[in-house]
């Protein structure tokens, strides 16, 4: 489906979805509705209808106050501190607390908003001043602002690290691990004071030749021209970015869902049955996940195609031929940054060993500055969200950051 056709259907269905959401909210506040089997059935149906489509609006971060070991509650401040036409840099910190380690957390630009890392921020902000790349939906950015490609992405990481200043730390989750590794190399080669004191790469495609997953195989099945001809569309003129060529978020998410259609169908059935049974807590957890999952953003054509070609097809970084601003990237320039790589045992997006590859590529980095953590029992999202992230992975990240200061 082209973008115009999709948008037409989205516009036609939106009033029904909004009405269903309003009805669900109204019934949820109705006294005694949760005790009525009929009302529970209606709430379940209305919720299914309200969630039966995508949205292009970023959900709120809603980072909750942090409760420390003594029982004191620390409110979290959220503020945009700088940015570009393509990205806002948002800072999260405990109110009135200063001089905590600064961490730049680079969110994926893979069809979802940076709120996908809400749980990552919620944990990191306990002990750090967290700066998050809040990528903007490119369909809302006028063509006059120029193109956005892989080099632009890397440039943003370099620029934001320079904004944070010396002795700051860099964390890349999934897809941006490549850009974070390159940016660290660029800053290191320039002897820039903003070179990361530590670099944490989490579940990212540094070298997808290792244990290729279904996602990696799909990226190599077709030539890059096929991706350009079949997956790129033009943003309708009703949006500020009208005329831009993009890989639409609805195409990306539809592709992801088609890989596990039975699982998503079962999740919706479970949500319905739990709501009818009156188990709102479990139903809410599923609904919250899909509200986040169905919030989509488009990717700029140049960025998407270059990522597919250079990262997933040609493997330019591990082969030592990737260029940044006309110069070949030299990972051997990384000599002082502490490096932590994190992988999930059950990751079906970035296979085991793909992120670990960064350890060998940084061949001039002393062994005592390198650490690897393989987390048992988690898939891709479990590396940076959920209980195992908070209880088992985060302590390793925190320890590495503290040891590199």
Residue spans per domain, the chain: 3-53+256-293, 66-217+299-404
Give the whole-angstrom CA distance, residue 331 versus residue 353: 18
Give the whole-angstrom CA distance, residue 323 versus residue 317: 9
What is the H or E stretch that residue 77 is in?
strand 76-84
Return the pLDDT at 128: 96
Return the pLDDT at 100: 95
Question: Contact 66/73 with Cβ under 8 angstroms?
Answer: yes
Give the whole-angstrom CA distance, residue 232 versus residue 122: 35
Alpha carbon 111 to chain centroid distance? 8
Beta bridge partners of 300: 246
Return the pLDDT at 55: 87
Give the whole-angstrom CA distance, residue 125 versus residue 79: 13
Q: Tokens 């006028």 — which residue?
A: 142
- CATH fold of 66-217+299-404, please? Rossmann fold (3.40.50)
Per residue of the chain (405 residues), give pLDDT as tens. 688 888 888 888 889 989 988 988 888 888 877 778 888 899 889 989 988 888 888 999 999 998 888 888 999 999 999 999 999 999 999 988 889 999 999 999 988 899 999 999 999 999 999 999 999 999 999 999 999 999 999 999 999 999 999 999 999 999 999 999 999 999 999 999 999 999 999 999 999 999 999 889 989 999 999 999 999 999 999 999 999 999 999 988 887 787 778 888 999 899 999 999 989 899 999 998 888 888 999 999 999 999 999 999 999 999 999 999 999 999 999 999 999 999 999 999 999 999 999 999 999 999 999 999 999 999 999 999 999 999 999 999 999 999 887
Return the pLDDT at 36: 84
């Amino acid at each position: 489906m082209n973008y115009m056709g999709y948008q037409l259907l989205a516009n036609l269905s939106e009033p029904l979805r909004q009405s269903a959401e309003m009805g669900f909210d109204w019934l949820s506040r109705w006294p005694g509705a949760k005790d009525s089997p009929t009302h529970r059935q209606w709430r379940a149906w209305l919720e299914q209808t309200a969630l039966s489509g995508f949205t292009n609006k970023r959900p709120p971060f809603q980072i909750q106050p942090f409760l420390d070991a003594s029982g004191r509650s620390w409110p979290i401040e959220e503020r945009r501190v700088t940015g570009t036409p393509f990205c806002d840099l948002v800072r999260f910190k405990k109110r009135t607390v200063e001089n905590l380690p600064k961490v730049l957390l680079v969110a994926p630009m893979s069809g979802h908003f940076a709120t996908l890392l809400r749980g990552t921020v919620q944990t990191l902000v306990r002990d750090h001043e967290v700066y998050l790349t809040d990528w903007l939906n490119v369909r809302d950015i006028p063509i006059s602002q120029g193109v956005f490609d892989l080099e632009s992405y890397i440039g943003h990481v370099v620029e934001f690290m320079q904004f944070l200043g010396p002795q700051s730390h860099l964390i890349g989750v999934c897809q941006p691990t490549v850009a974070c590794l390159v940016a660290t190399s660029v800053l290191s080669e320039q002897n820039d004071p903003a070179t990361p004191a530590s670099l944490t790469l989490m579940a990212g495609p540094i070298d997808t030749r290792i244990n290729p997953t279904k996602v990696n195989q799909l990226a190599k099945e077709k030539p890059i021209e096929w991706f350009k001809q079949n997956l790129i569309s033009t943003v309708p003129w009703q949006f500020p970015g009208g005329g831009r060529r993009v890989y639409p978020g609805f195409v990306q998410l539809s592709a992801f869902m088609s890989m596990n259609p039975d699982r998503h169908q079962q999740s919706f059935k479970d949500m319905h049955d739990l709501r009818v049974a009156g188990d709102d807590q479990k139903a809410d957890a599923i609904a919250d996940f899909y509200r986040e999952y169905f919030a989509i953003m488009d990717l700029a054509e140049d960025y998407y195609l270059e990522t597919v070609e250079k990262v997933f097809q040609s493997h330019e970084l591990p082969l030592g031929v990737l260029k940044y601003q006309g110069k070949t990237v030299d990972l051997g320039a990384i000599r002082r940054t502490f490096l932590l790589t994190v992988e999930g045992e059950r990751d079906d997006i970035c296979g085991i060993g793909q992120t670990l590859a960064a350890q060998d590529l940084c061949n001039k980095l002393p062994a005592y500055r390198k650490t690897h953590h393989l987390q048992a029992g988690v898939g891709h999202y479990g590396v940076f969200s959920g209980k195992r992230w908070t209880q088992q992975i985060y302590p390793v990240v925190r320890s590495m950051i503290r040891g590199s200061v």
